[in-house]
Amino acid sequence: MSPRVSVVTPFYNTAEYLEECIRSVLAQSFADFEYVLLDNCSNDGSRRIAERFATLDRRIRLISNPGHLTQVQNYNAALTAISPHSEYCKMVQADDWLFRRCLEEMVTLADSHPEIGIVSSYRLAGTAVKEVGLPHTSVVTPGREICRKQMLEGLHFFGSPSTILVRSSLIRAREPFYEEGRMHEDTEACYDVLDRHQFGFVHQVLSFTRTDNDSIMSRSRTFGPGLLDKLIIVRRFGPRYLDDAEYRLCRLDHEAAYLRFLGEALLRPQGRDFWDYQRRGWKQIGYRPSRLRLACSAAGALADLVLNPKRTLDRAFRSLRRRLASTARV
C-alpha cells in the first residue's frame, strides 16, 4: 500500500547528528510513512549511518545524488523523490529531529480540514520555544490572513523546513518547490502556497531545531538575516496580501528597522562576508540604500550610543556573552 506521508531528509556530512534525526522519525507514533534519505555525496561517514538504518527498516529508501548539489538543489531533489501517491510530505533536516507525536498530530489536523495546505506548530530552537503568537483557538486560519498577520505584526509561524507538513499535491505542483537563488526560499514558498490554501497550526512543540552547530544558517546569524528577510518578504509579497496604504506603512517600518541595523553595523568592523550577504539580499528585490541614508543611519546609531550609555553597555555585555558561549562550544 502507498504511504500516507513521505518524510524526507537530505543530508551532507552530518554524521554527528544524522542518527538522532533518523531515530526520531522511526520512533513516530504515526507509522504509515516512507522515509527518503538523500545523500548529497557525503564523505564523513553519514552514508554508512543511513545504510545501517536502511537495512533495519523497510520504510527507508536511501538514494544518492550523482554529483554534489547546493543545499536548495538537494532539498528540491529530495522532494521530487517522494511517493507519487503520498498525501503529505514532511521534511526533517539532518541536524534536526521530531518529537514522537509530530506526524500524528499534524496529519490528524490536516485530515480534518482538507482545505489546509500547510500545517505548522511550535518548535524548540535550542532551548527557546518558537512560532508563538497565535491564540490557542487559532487552529485553522485562512492562509492570506496568516501572511498578513506575519507582515503587519512581525510574527513568524513557518519556522524552518523541519517545522511544517505540506500536502504532497502542492509539492508535486511546484517544480521546483523551493525557488533557487533565494536567501529564504522556504519562507517564500509558504507565502506563495498560502495565497490559495488554509493554514493549520498545532499548539504543541513537535520539532527541534539545532542552534549550536555549524551550518549555513548559523554562520549567517550575525548578518541580521531576520531583518533582511522581513524586508524581502514585504517587498515581494506585500503587494499581493496588503492594500496600498498597509503596504506602504509596512514597507517603511521594515526598511527603517533594517537601516537602523545597518547603521549600527557601520560603527563596528564588519567583514566582507557581512556586506556580500546584504548585497545578495538587495539584489533579489532591486533595493540599494543610498550612501546618504546609510550615513544618516550610522549617525543615528552613534547618537544612540552616546545618549543611552546604559543600553550601550547592556548590548556590549550581551555581545560578549554570545562570543564567550561560542568560544566555549568550540
Q: What is residue 304's predicted lDDT score, i.e. its pLDDT?
A: 72
| Mean pLDDT of the 195-220 span | 83
Comparing 215 with 152, which gets the higher pLDDT? Answer: 152
Q: Could you tell me what percent of the chain has a pLDDT over 70?
A: 89
Amino acid in the structure at residue 114: P
The secondary structure element, H or E, covering residue 104 is helix 102-112
| Separation CA 238–CA 215 (nearest Å) | 30
Return the higher-pLDDT residue of 84 and 213. 84
Q: Is 130 in contact with 164 (CB distance < 8 Å)?
A: no
Q: Quickly state the pLDDT bin for 327 (edges 50, 70, 90).
A: very low
What would the mean pLDDT of 22-40 be, rounded to a whole number?
Answer: 98
pLDDT category, 156, cuts 50, 70, 90?
very high
Give the DSSP letter of residue 95.
T
Tell me: pLDDT of 161 over 90. Answer: yes
Residue 54 has pLDDT above 90, yes or no: yes
Q: DSSP letter for 222, please.
A: G
Among 64-68, 208-212, 275-279, 293-297, where is mean pLDDT lowest?
293-297
The whole-number pLDDT of residue 329 equals 43
247 to 149, 189, 234: CA distances (angstroms): 12, 20, 8
What are φ and ψ of residue 75, in 5° steps? Answer: -65, -45
Compute the average pLDDT of residues 36-59: 97
Sorted by where each starts, the structural domains of the chain and their CATH numbers stand as 5-213 (3.90.550.10), 220-329 (no CATH)
Length, in residues, of the chain: 330
pTM of the model: 0.86
Rounded CA gap, 30 and 32, in Å? 6
Res 203 pLDDT > 70: yes
Please, what is the average pLDDT of the chain? Answer: 90
CA distance 300 to 286: 25
- Residues 6 or more apart in contact with residue 87 via CB below 8 angstroms: 4, 5, 167, 168
Alpha helices in 175-271 (DSSP H): 185-193, 216-219, 225-241, 244-266
